[in-house]
Amino acid sequence: MSDITRREALNRLAVAFAAAGALDHLAAVEAHAAIEQATAGGGPYTPKALTGHQFLTLSRLTDLIIPVEDGRPGAVQAGVPAWIDSLLEVNAELRARYTDGLTWIDKTMQGRHGSDFLMATPEQQTGLLDQIAYQKNRSPELDPGIDFFILLRRMTVDGFYTSPIGMRDIYPGNTPLGEFTVPQEALDYVLSRSPFAE
């Protein structure tokens, strides 16, 4: 890691999110590195800011936002829930927004289907998210969920694409090639225009 401490990296990120500022890329990468280092001994991540239930709900939500797809890892595999939790640990305002948002999701699901978000069916879960994912659905009933989902989606995407897994998803380069070949079609074209062609 660089000269920035884990706590400084998390504080910078948490302040940026709370103020709806731009993502500090270096701080985001440092936060991921700190989480990897903390969990290097094995075992699952232990939430620091959220309860166990809230963390599992957060994990399910991030999984629905960026799922495993075509064999490529999703948000959970990239450590996004732990990354978000580590930011919440150092910023009380951001933590309150998350706990309020997660509570709203559970209460809304309970009112509609008689169970919290985790116990709801996948169809019920995505049905609620389909409503709160769009600004056009604003209403007094849905506004708290929409506001929370905007924050959650942004942080999930930022957390994913600043993780090592997400960076590889964006740019799969810098990997060794087994061989250096040129497509036959390109060779044929070049040779057909070459003065050395037969």
Which pLDDT score is estimated for 1? 43
Question: What are the residue ranges in the chain where pLDDT is below 70?
Answer: 1-29, 32-35, 37-42, 172, 174, 197-198
The packing angle between helices 143-161 and 80-89, to 10°, is 110
Helices (H) and strands (E) in the chain, counts: 9, 0
pLDDT recorded at residue 8: 58
The domain locations on the chain are: 47-193
Residue 162 has a pLDDT of 87
80, 32 Cβ separation under 8 angstroms: no
Cα dihedral across residues 122, 127, 130, 132: positive or negative: negative
Chain segment 55-67, per-residue pLDDT in tens: 999 999 999 999 9
In tens, the pLDDT along 5-38 reads: 555 554 555 555 555 444 566 666 677 666 676 6
Which pLDDT value is given to residue 32? 63
Question: How would you write 73-133 as a 3-class SS string?
Answer: CCCCCCCHHHHHHHHHHCCHHHHHHHHHHHHHHHHHHHHHHCCCCCCCCHHHHHHHHHHHC
Q: Which residue has the tokens 């810098």?
A: 174
Paired residues of 69 in beta bridges: 72
Query: What pLDDT is recorded for position 28?
Result: 66
